[in-house]
Amino acid sequence: AHTQGPRVTMEDTVSIDRSVDKKTLIVGLYDGHNGKQVSKFAADGIPAAYAKYKDLEKSFADVESPLEKSNIDHNRIGCTAIVATIENQGDDSQRLLKLANLGDSRAILVRKEKVVVETKDHKPNSTGERVRISEAGGYVTDIDGTPRMNGLIAVSRAFGDTSYKALMSHQP
């Protein structure tokens, strides 16, 4: 989220939110592409949706619907996401971590130099994604070593990118 690469402006958004309740922290990284508007929309929407549902999968779905009704150019602008909730349990000595991701935004939890939890990237060439895309009428091709959905986009799950709506998923 801190490297701009060849872009003139930063398109990513980071959110840290404790507004749900005093026991829950929501941290999100939204990796924008073709503009920052969708990453900002998702970063603002996920905490509010999580307060409503207390469920990340439902929260992701709840953000996509109003995005499609917004005046943001969501046909060509999108973002991948990694969101973590950390909830204090009982006497606050234990915490529950929940993770959800879209696209190639990734989280890895390491404890004592060992990977304990790792999210799975949603790339067009992974077996499950390739099948889902094909069943929706799309295809996956490799362009200069990068797998792309319908020869264009390198992720198969994201917020926005509604010009690919039949093929793109916003389910974490």
pLDDT in tens, 58-108: 999 999 889 988 999 888 899 999 999 999 987 768 899 999 999 999 999
- Residue 6 has a pLDDT of 64
Please give the model's pTM, rounded to 2 decimal places: 0.88
Position 10 pLDDT exceeds 70? yes
Q: Using CA atoms, how far apart are residues 63 and 66, in angstroms rounded to an integer?
A: 6
Task: Could you list the beta-strand ranges (E) of 62-118.
Answer: 78-89, 94-102, 108-111, 114-118
**pLDDT tens track for 11-68:** 999 999 998 888 899 999 999 999 999 999 999 999 999 999 999 999 999 998 899 8
- Residue 49 has a pLDDT of 95
Question: Which helix H or strand E contains 19, and what residues bound it?
Answer: strand 13-21
Q: Using CA atoms, how far apart are residues 165 and 172, in angstroms rounded to an integer?
A: 15
Q: Backbone phi, then psi, for 98, in 5-degree steps?
A: -125, 140
Closest CA to 171 of 76, 51, 58: 58
